[in-house]
Amino acid sequence: MAQAPLTAESLTPLMRAHLSPAAVCVSAERGALGNGQETWFLEVDKDGTRRELVLRRSADGSLGWTDRAREFEVMRAVRPHGLPVPEVLWLETEPSALERPYFVMERVQGGSLGRAEPSTREAVARRIGEALARLHALPLGSLGLTGPAPADGVAGAAAELGRWRERYLSERLEPVPLLGALIAWLESNVPAAEAPVVLLWGDPGPHNVLVANGELTALLDWELSHLGHPLDDLGACLWAARGQIDGEHVLQAYERSAGGSVDRTALRWFECLACVSRSVMVIEGMRAFIEGRSSRPGLAGLGLELLSENLARAARLAGWPEPGREPAELPPGAPVLRPDETELARGLARFLTEDVIPALDDRALRRGLKETAALIETLALRGRLEPALRDRRVAAEGRLREELEHAGLDWRDLEEAAAEVERREELAPLRAAVRQHLLEDLELVRRLIAPLHALYTR
């Protein structure tokens, strides 16, 4: 469960222990953005001189995606090589004075891209490409990082896919057949061209940079950093670039700085991998929300929306065909009482959106309430339509099962069958039918989360 928020008063003893006995934390504000770890902006006074810091603390709910010690180690190793990475000051793991692992770093001036002009977006895209080329050129032996390295880039790519597959199997609440099939497709199509092992940012893109006066001032969020194939970073960057910057500008700048061309065909595999890995992340977050380890509504709201978007995008990258026909409409049940579920949910959501949220100063709380309002509307929509969807899914799956068993496939469950069809070449004639079924099913599910889609694409 979430613990009490940090305050200037509670943080002052830490500032005095690590900075100066005369230090006083005069303000502590939690950042509103981000769905992983907590970010707190601090202002510290020492004898009349103000200093701005950032405290990064592991998320509540045991969201064990990464650890702060590794992130701290990588940032400290990279900064001396001229990349714009904030200076890290100190780290506490378990036991921690703040109940969870955290580290503190200097705050770099700048903000998000926001509504930046196209020229600024293009400049930032090119700076990201240049920074990635510089990062990938760093000699690993000079960084002093702990832990083993893969034998080569291809082995690194296969190992990274394997790690995400294991995380999916251990964290899923129930099978997600389309995700299981996509993982099997990735396993069967790992790019074979030789590639070096490099240090990867892990989560590059416009969402993790600061910009000031049209220039990139900081590369943030190194929690997914690891050693592997250089295209891993570029695929993840293309995943994040959508709607913010032109990914082609990133690639062009990378190619100029690195002195070589990027294999666009292999890059599609890594972008698909990014869709799959981000799908696993949101599944982990949704599980924490459902099990009561976190109360953040965004873990459920963005989780539902981002999972469906990622799966659809990954299927396109894998070259799977678009659904061949529009799913039939689902008949709503007749209301028993008025206001019915939808009317009541919309009214509650409107109260939160129009009356409660504008009265709040806390940006993180405002964001959480917006997500709560969208979840209330989604809940009502699901209540009306999900029974019909469930019946339709059972019938469609039954027809597919008959077809696969007739072809000699030993059916255990849909995810297992879909993965086998992707892995085994002798089952290739069945792939079109299985993919069609999975993608049509996804389109039906996406109808149930329309309010969340409207919120996150607004």
Domain ranges of the chain: 8-106, 118-316, 332-456
Residue 325 is predicted with a pLDDT of 59
Average pLDDT along the chain: 90
Token pair of 419 as six digits: 């993965």
Residue 2 is predicted with a pLDDT of 43
Is residue 355 over pLDDT 80?
no
Amino acid letter for position 414? L
Alpha carbons 448 and 446: distance in angstroms, whole number? 5
The whole-number average pLDDT for the span 303-316 is 93
Is residue 332 over pLDDT 70?
no
Please state which of the ranges 86-95, 125-134, 366-375 shows the lowest mean pLDDT: 366-375
pLDDT above 70: percentage of residues in the chain: 93
- Flag whether the pTM goes above 0.85: yes
Alpha carbons 172 and 160: distance in angstroms, whole number? 18
Amino acid letter for position 69? A
Residue 127 is predicted with a pLDDT of 97
pLDDT tens profile 261-296: 999 999 999 999 999 999 999 999 888 888 877 777
Residue 338: pLDDT band by 50, 70, 90 thresholds? Answer: very low
Is residue 334 over pLDDT 80?
no
Query: Which comes out higher in pLDDT, residue 396 or 290?
Result: 396
pLDDT tens profile 146-177: 888 999 999 999 999 999 999 999 999 889 99
In a 13 Å sphere around the CA of 302, the CA atoms on its Cβ side amount to: 21
Residue 329 is predicted with a pLDDT of 66
Pick the CATH number of 8-106 from 3.40.640.10, 3.30.1330.10, 3.30.200.20, 3.40.50.720: 3.30.200.20
Residue 339 is predicted with a pLDDT of 56
Level-2 CATH architecture, domain 118-316: Alpha-Beta Complex (3.90)
Q: At what angle do helices 118-136 and 247-258 cross, to 10 degrees?
A: 40
For 202, phi and psi rounded to 5 degrees? 100, -40
Is residue 330 over pLDDT 80?
no
